[in-house]
Amino acid sequence: MRIADRPFAVAVCLALVLSVLPTRIVGGVVADVSGVLMAMLNPPAHVLQLVREWLRPPLHAQGPDDPVVRELLRERDTYRSQWHAARQEVLELERKLDQLGAIRRSDPSGAWRLVDAAVGMAPPASGQGIISLLAGTALGISAGDVAVVRGDLIAGRVGPSPDRLTSTLLPIGHPALGRIDASIVIDESGPGRRMPVQLEASGGGRLSCDVALDGGVTPGMVVRLRDAGWPKGAQGMVLGTVVEVGRKDQQPLRGRALIVPAIEARNLAEVTIKATGQVKP
Amino acid sequence: MRSPVYIAALLVAVLLDGSFLQVLSIGSARPWVFPVMLAFVCFNASKSAAWWGALGMGVLYDLVSPVAGAAGTTIVVIGPNTMGCLLAAAAAIPLRGVVFKRNPVAVGVLAGALLLIHQIGWFAGWTIRGWLGDPVPWTVGQVGGAMLASFWASCATAVLGIPVSFLLDRIEGWWGFPPIGSVARRV
């Protein structure tokens, strides 16, 4: 096939060269150009996100029409999350008591503040891209902060190097979040018996973990965060729900649970960040 | 082809694809509007303009598709979407004389096929990046699932392509395409 003109051939060659150059050589410049472009596209993209959320709200954002009942449910979820967090802390303290014979209280300062961040572009990258947020270090957002929805559902984690006015969100299920320690709550409404698991991304925005086949894990159970590498304010919050439990192909005596994130972050117009950084006006 | 019109349409397409069209998704079947526009341009513009349009579209989609790097850093890679769009254009341009371009169904179905071809280039581009040490935007062991999702997306795109190509056909006059049979269209 004949390509029409020489400038085009040069442009294609340039693009092909760029496509194979290591990120450390061209990544900075390309990321800057991308940043300028995204800064222009984010405001209209946010408007479209609002329209989309209005047309088709995320499943978990739907609630009863009665505002009083909705508020009660929100409070119930918030206190339930706090209860789970407190219970995990108690268990942790008991473990330390057994091991060290002394109490070491963890930091009770709760040094974070809530920041509402509008969602900009949720770029098309085969469902595994990152999400732009229209809030940054100026509001105290720092890398690793947790984005929550409805006070109890974790939407993701702020990516590294947030800018002054923008930042990125790695949604739950993104491989870049690495392995996440969590607990599958066996009886959510009862005493809160739980099974510790380690989650990993399994593609398509989902998570999976190894479970004991006779451990009582069934679809519908809630998975809550218990990872010391995550901010303290996020412990006990909901990561997702078990949707499938089956045998592992390679190890038939062990089970594999598939978990769907509690909230599809790409369908949101706004998230709340538990910001731990200092406000930089 | 009038460049300002194309650029405006491209920005609208990238906004719709990035922020809105998930509202029409059913499971993994998530429609995209850019293959429809690519098909529309490849079937109507001069060859040179179609090639440039495909290149610009690919570069723009690469620029608005940052992914998380190995250490959690954000990386932007020019290449995967560019290769995909050029590959799709290479498939579409020779069909200009075959496809009845005013038939929205034909354009829609071809847009779905172009998305599949684009995905081949996209996977190839990211596979090359993977060889160079960059993280690929799919989970190892789940490539089949990602490709199946691409198939369903192409089906959804074909369905969406019918009304979109109908609308584009209504505003064809704005684009300044050379008339059918003219020398300018063949260049």
Choose the mutation target among B16, B17, B37, B64 for the interface with A, i.e. most A CBs under 10 Å: B64
Calpha distance A211→B5 (Å, rounded): 55
Q: Is A17 helix (H, G, I), strand (E, B) or coil?
A: helix
**Complete domains list, chain B, with CATH:** 3-177 (1.10.1760)
Residue A55 with chain B: CB contacts under 8 Å:
23
Confidence of residue A84 (pLDDT cuts 50, 70, 90): confident
* Residue numbers of A between 128 and 157 with CB closer than 8 Å to B: 128-130, 143
Q: Which member of A19, A37, A170 has the closest CB to residue B83?
A: A19
Q: Which member of A37, A38, A175 has the closest CB to residue B139?
A: A175
Residue B58 with chain A: CB contacts under 8 Å:
15
Tell me, what DSSP letter sits at residue B46?
-
Residue A123 with chain B: CB contacts under 8 Å:
18, 64-66
Average pLDDT, chain B: 85
CB contact under 8 A, A175 and B146: no
Give pLDDT tens digits for A153-182: 899 999 888 888 889 899 998 888 889 999
Residue B142 with chain A: CB contacts under 8 Å:
202-204
What is the arithmetic mean of pLDDT over A212-232? 87
A1/chain B closest Cα distance in angstroms: 8
What residue spans define the domains of chain A? Answer: 44-281
Question: In this structure, are residues A41 and B64 in contact, taking their beta carbons and an 8 Å threshold?
Answer: yes
The phi and psi torsions of B101 (rounded to 5 degrees) equal -70, -15
Residues forming beta bridges with residue A117, ordered by sequence position: A271
pTM of this structure: 0.68
Q: What's the CA angle centered on A185, arms A272 and A82, to 5 degrees?
A: 40
Give pLDDT tens digits for A113-145: 778 888 887 765 545 678 889 888 888 899 989
Residues forming beta bridges with residue A261, ordered by sequence position: A240
Q: Which member of A33, A123, A175 has the closest CB to residue B18?
A: A123
Q: Is A111 left (phi over 0), alpha (psi -120 to 50) or beta?
A: beta
- SS3 track for A229-249: CCCHHHCCCEEEEEEEEEECC
Q: Residue A93: is its pLDDT beyond 50?
A: yes
Residue B71 with chain A: CB contacts under 8 Å:
160
Calpha distance B171→B56 (Å, rounded): 21
Q: What is the pLDDT of residue A107?
A: 38
* Residue numbers of A between 248 and 277 with CB closer than 8 Å to B: 266-267
Give pLDDT tens digits for B54-65: 999 999 999 988
Tell me what ipTM this predicted complex has.
0.82
Q: Which residue of A has its CA nearest to B10?
A: A41
What is the arithmetic mean of pLDDT over A91-101? 61
